[in-house]
Amino acid sequence: MNIVDMKSSAAPLVTGAKWSFVTRRVRRADIRLLDRDLTAATSGDLVLAEVQTIGNHKRLQLSDGRFSALYPKDRIVLACADRFAEDQYEGVAALCPDGSDLLAGGGVIGEMRSRHGKIKRPTRLSVIGRLANKDGRVVNVSDFGLPPSQGPKPKHVIGVLGTGMNAGKTAAAAGLVNGFARFGKKVSAIKVTGTGSFGDVQAYEAAGAAQVWDFTDAGLASTYRQPIGQLDSLTRTLLAASAQNDIAIVELADGVSQVETAKLLRSHTYRALFDAFVLAAPGALAAKGALHWLDSEAQIKPIALSGLMTQAPLAVAEAQTLGLPVFSREELADPATASCLIGLLEHPAQASVA
Amino acid sequence: MAQVYFRPGVPGALPEAWVIQPEVARRAPPVLVVHGLNRETELMTRLLASQADVTGRTIVLPVFDRTSWPRFQRAAGKDRADWALLSLLEVLRSEGWIGDATPDMSGFSGGAQFVHRFAWLYPDVVGRLCLVAPGWWTFPDMRGVYPYAMGTGCPNDTAAAFRLRANLMRFLDRDITVMVGELDVQQDRNLRQDPYVMEQQGSNRVVRARMWTAAALRASRRLGLSPRIRFELMRECGHGFGDCVANGALVRSFVPFGQTPSRLPTTKMHLRLEEVA
């Protein structure tokens, strides 16, 4: 049954609402109408919701880079999207008239499928409707992404991979950014997969990146369950947008065997975008497992190890038996390390000599 | 006549520097000259100024003050003189004192210690090297950990060791002149004399310079390079910069003409290995 008068003016309800991080590229003047058909929701649709009960997420990441504490009855603008986070939630891009879940503090709304045993229930949201333009077409964050590009990329591209969530990938990526920047290079830092969050991009900015991008700049609120071709394309787009830099540091979310990450890494055309990879791990055994997976499934041999394990000298000593240098974030942030890595990228034959 | 300028620094962050600009600049990269533990930069500036005019090259003498960089000669030691020099190069370029060309680098005594370590850490940042009479060296072998050599001993030094090993070929693949006065055989207070160094490197600067040159030649050949490493014993010179300038014609190698000398034939280098080993 079609309800003719599903669309009403959004202006009174959107006024005063908190706009979340994943919506930061949206041109707010385009928002005119409210679409109450929740069954048609797709990933990336802009959603106006009201906070029912505060659960796990007590704060929202705003589009201007600040946190905002959440209160019941707050009106917030989010993007409907999937979520993959082993130590938080798995959720899908769906909206329910009875209420939906705040799946990520960066502003992702959807329906939780499962949660980590130590994580509270999600903050619960009442869905007011999807936000639409003057023609009634629901606005999607993809409308404001960078146009796809296959243009030239920076001279060097280093990928940062991990054994899983919280392996220390972002710290390693930020360390690399800082080291290369202090070595006098212009660095672009890119997060190509994951769920929209300002934590990573702010870490890159703080490390001295000349330019920072993430997949939200390419029009996705989350990359979970998105077509691999689209993720490949967005990586090329963000690299092309970084072309004026000397080097790009590219972080891929979650572990190497996570479904989208694994598919990307198995693709030789995708791997060819990178000159080298650094692997972050919380421990030596995890590193060993990931190295084996990378070798057997993706023919990738990282040039160095890093991650949470570098905080533990015993773990470092064990990891050093794996035959790769192990760098802490501080060591990656040393321009002397950047000098060495540039040499290995430009003269790969010397890696075996080393 | 060359003009000498003083560029103030920022304690702990940016070394002061003397900048000698030739009257007629040629299209040649600048030369960075690093002082020894005595930090005699005013003397060095005075003695090198005329060579700036002879070669048409800008000469930069950073001053690693005793308070901020007490052990600058270790380069990547606790006080990170290497970071300070990277900052200075960036500032001098942004202020127009020097251009983007890769500078050559020369060091005397403790300055030579710094220079060979800095060039090893940042092989793409500097060009030709002139290393004069350092008290001790970082050896291109595995017989110790940094700053003695490029081996590993504990988890904390493996990153440093990896950097040295990974950079070794690029470090050695350049013109390197090693010089020392033939009378520089005194065991003065600035000469490191602990048993480990005495055994690893020899008992005085002449022996140590010969041993390092031999080790560098061996390492170069092992890596498949045609070495461009030259050893020169300065006649009637001891361990003084003025002495080496007056008696040893140090300046010609310390601030050479800008063009790259032709590659030395390998056969000659074999002879030189015999000479120094």
Measured between beta carbons, which residues in chain B are less than 8 angstroms from residue A184? 86, 90
DSSP letters along B92-141, please? HHHTTSS-SSPPEEEEETHHHHHHHHHHHH-TTT---EEEE--SS---SS
Measured between beta carbons, which residues in chain B are less than 8 angstroms from residue A326? 155, 158-159
pLDDT in tens, B193-250: 889 899 889 999 999 999 999 999 999 999 999 999 999 999 999 999 999 999 878 9
- State whether B156 and A313 contact (CB < 8 Å): yes
Sorted by where each begins, the domain ranges of chain B are 3-275
Nearest to A320 among B76, B155, B166 (CB): B155
Long-range pairs for B267-274: beta carbons < 8 A, 24 or more residues apart: B269/B217, B269/B226, B269/B227, B269/B228, B269/B229, B272/B213, B272/B217, B272/B229, B272/B230, B272/B231, B273/B214, B273/B217, B273/B218
- How many angstroms separate the CA atoms of B55 and B48, rounded? 11
pLDDT score recorded for residue B157: 65
Beta bridge partners of B19: B5, B60
Q: What is the ipTM of this complex?
A: 0.89
Q: How confident is the model at residue B263 (pLDDT cuts 50, 70, 90)?
A: very low
Report phi then psi at B146, rounded to 5.
-55, 135
Nearest to A340 among B155, B158, B167 (CB): B167
Q: Is the pLDDT of residue B272 over 70?
A: no
Task: Report yes or no: B168 at the A interface, CB cutoff 8 Å.
Answer: yes
- A136: alpha, beta or left? (left if phi > 0; alpha if psi -120 to 50): left
Helices (H) then strands (E): counts for chain B: 9, 8
Residues A41/A139, Cβ–Cβ less than 8 Å: no
Task: Report yes or no: A183 at the B interface, CB cutoff 8 Å.
Answer: yes
- How many angstroms separate the CA atoms of A213 and A204, rounded? 9
Task: Report yes or no: A337 at the B interface, CB cutoff 8 Å.
Answer: yes
CA B3 to chain centre: 24
Q: Is the pLDDT of residue B8 over 80?
A: yes
Beta bridge partners of B39: none
Residues A341/B163, Cβ–Cβ less than 8 Å: no
Measured between beta carbons, which residues in chain B are less than 8 angstroms from residue A335? 82-83, 86, 122
The mean predicted confidence, pLDDT, of chain A is: 94
- State whether B122 and A337 contact (CB < 8 Å): no
Residues A144/A234, Cβ–Cβ less than 8 Å: no
**How close, in Å, is residue B161 to chain A by CA atoms?**
9
pLDDT in tens, A87-127: 999 999 999 999 999 999 999 999 999 999 999 999 999 99
Measured between beta carbons, which residues in chain B are less than 8 angstroms from residue A333? none
Residues B23/B53, Cβ–Cβ less than 8 Å: yes
- Which residue in B93, B156, B170, B220 has the most chain A C-beta atoms within 10 A of its own C-beta, making it the best mutation to test that interface? B170
In B, minimum Cα distance to A318 occurs at: B155
**How close, in Å, is residue A327 to chain B by CA atoms?**
6
Secondary structure class of B43 (helix, strand, coil): helix
Q: Is the pLDDT of residue B268 over 50?
A: no
Beta bridge partners of B179: B132, B232
DSSP 8-class letter at B257: -
Measured between beta carbons, which residues in chain A are less than 8 angstroms from residue B168? 353-354
Cis preceding-peptide flag for B147 (omega within 30 of 0): yes
Report phi then psi at A198, rounded to 5.
-80, -5
- State whether B121 and A320 contact (CB < 8 Å): no
- Cα distance between the two ends of chain B: 43
pLDDT score recorded for residue B266: 37
Average of per-residue pLDDT across A251-256: 95
Q: Is the pLDDT of residue B258 over 80?
A: yes
CATH class of B3-275: alpha beta
Q: How many CB atoms lie within 10 A of CB A6?
A: 15
pLDDT score recorded for residue A350: 60
- State whether A339 and B123 contact (CB < 8 Å): yes
- State whether B86 and A335 contact (CB < 8 Å): yes
pLDDT score recorded for residue A8: 81
**How close, in Å, is residue B250 to chain A by CA atoms?**
30
- Which residue in A310, A322, A332, A334 has the most chain B C-beta atoms within 10 A of its own C-beta, making it the best mutation to test that interface? A334
- Which residue in A182, A278, A311, A340 has the most chain B C-beta atoms within 10 A of its own C-beta, making it the best mutation to test that interface? A340
- A106: alpha, beta or left? (left if phi > 0; alpha if psi -120 to 50): alpha
Tell me which of A169-173, B97-101, B157-161 is least confident.
Answer: B157-161
pLDDT score recorded for residue B156: 61
Measured between beta carbons, which residues in chain B are less than 8 angstroms from residue A185? none
If contacts are CB pairs under 8 Å, which of residues 220-259 in chain B contact chain A?
223
pLDDT greater at residue B276 or residue A322: A322
Q: Is the pLDDT of residue A4 over 60?
A: no
pLDDT score recorded for residue B155: 58
Q: Is the pLDDT of residue A6 over 90?
A: no
Q: Is the pLDDT of residue B128 over 50?
A: yes
- Burial of residue B78, with CB atoms counted within 10 A of its CB: 0-12 exposed, 13-18 middle, 19 or more buried: exposed
Amino acid code (one letter) for A9 = S
- State whether B170 and A350 contact (CB < 8 Å): yes
Closest CA to B101 of B131, B64, B56, B132: B56
Task: Report yes or no: A204 at the B interface, CB cutoff 8 Å.
Answer: no
Tell me which of A104-108, A217-221, B113-117, B151-155 is least confident.
Answer: B151-155
- State whether B122 and A335 contact (CB < 8 Å): yes
- State whether B124 and A353 contact (CB < 8 Å): no
Q: Is the pLDDT of residue B95 over 80?
A: yes
Q: How confident is the model at residue A351 (pLDDT cuts 50, 70, 90)?
A: low
- State whether A336 and B76 contact (CB < 8 Å): yes
DSSP 8-class letter at B262: P
- In the sheet where A211-214 sits, what is the strand order? A211-214, A187-191, A247-251, A156-162, A276-280, A304-306
Measured between beta carbons, which residues in chain A are less than 8 angstroms from residue B123? 339, 343
Amino acid code (one letter) for B252 = R
Nearest to B159 among A337, A342, A354 (CB): A337
Q: Is the pLDDT of residue B154 over 70?
A: no
Residues 6+ apart with CB under 8 A from A119: A56, A87, A88, A89
